Structure 1
Amino acid sequence: MKPTIVAASRSQVECELREIHPLRLVEAAGRRIHCVSGIAWITAYQHASDVFLRPGETYTVPNDGLVLAEAVGESRIRVDLPRVFDYSPCRVYLPASLDWLLQAMKQLPFGRKRLA
């Protein structure tokens, strides 16, 4: 079963992970992965050792290479979204013609449940 989005805000997305079905992140340098529950197994491009996160622990993605986040059993993680998804800076930098994209993102089903 693929990773499932269970909640989202303008700055983070929360996903449920299962074994053998990793979440793939690319071009994510500097984003943080927070373990909410279970154990998350993180593998990052050009890093010899993997990282195992327990609830409350955070990992910062070191580069823009491929990063895989997978569960040991089942786990739940939060991943920081790129700043472009943060609504307030977007109003300043995006042309009005792209404002429709921000409005459409608000209508996505996973956007209804907000993170604390």
Structure 2
Amino acid sequence: MVRSLVVKVTCGTEEPERLNQAFTVAAAAVASGAEVSLWLTGEAAWMGVPGRAEEFSLPEAAALADLLSAVVGAGRVTVCTQCAARRGIGEGDLREGVRIAGSAAFAEEVLADGVQALVY
């Protein structure tokens, strides 16, 4: 049995390696068959907006847009409610398959049985 994985990424393009690593781990877990939930907080909230992941590039790393598509396709991607509000991001601004939710939903996910949580 594969455990569920919650990945919370707290940085944006100002920390490119950490940002890409979080998406890489989430996509690799999806590929391994794990149930994956990727939380975009802080500046990472921008990656939930269409075109933002496509603009990002990091040498020798998988394309962030491809990694995000893998997680959206087989897992769940959430932008933090407060983080979205502080940046003027609403539900209508998000790419298809990305939602906005708050700390209660995050706490419920990470406190469930058999869940591994990672924060980047």
Structure (1/2) with the larger strand percentage? 1
TM score, norm. by length of structure 1 = 0.29
Structure (1/2) with the larger helix percentage? 2
Answer with 1 or 2: which has the greater Rg.
1
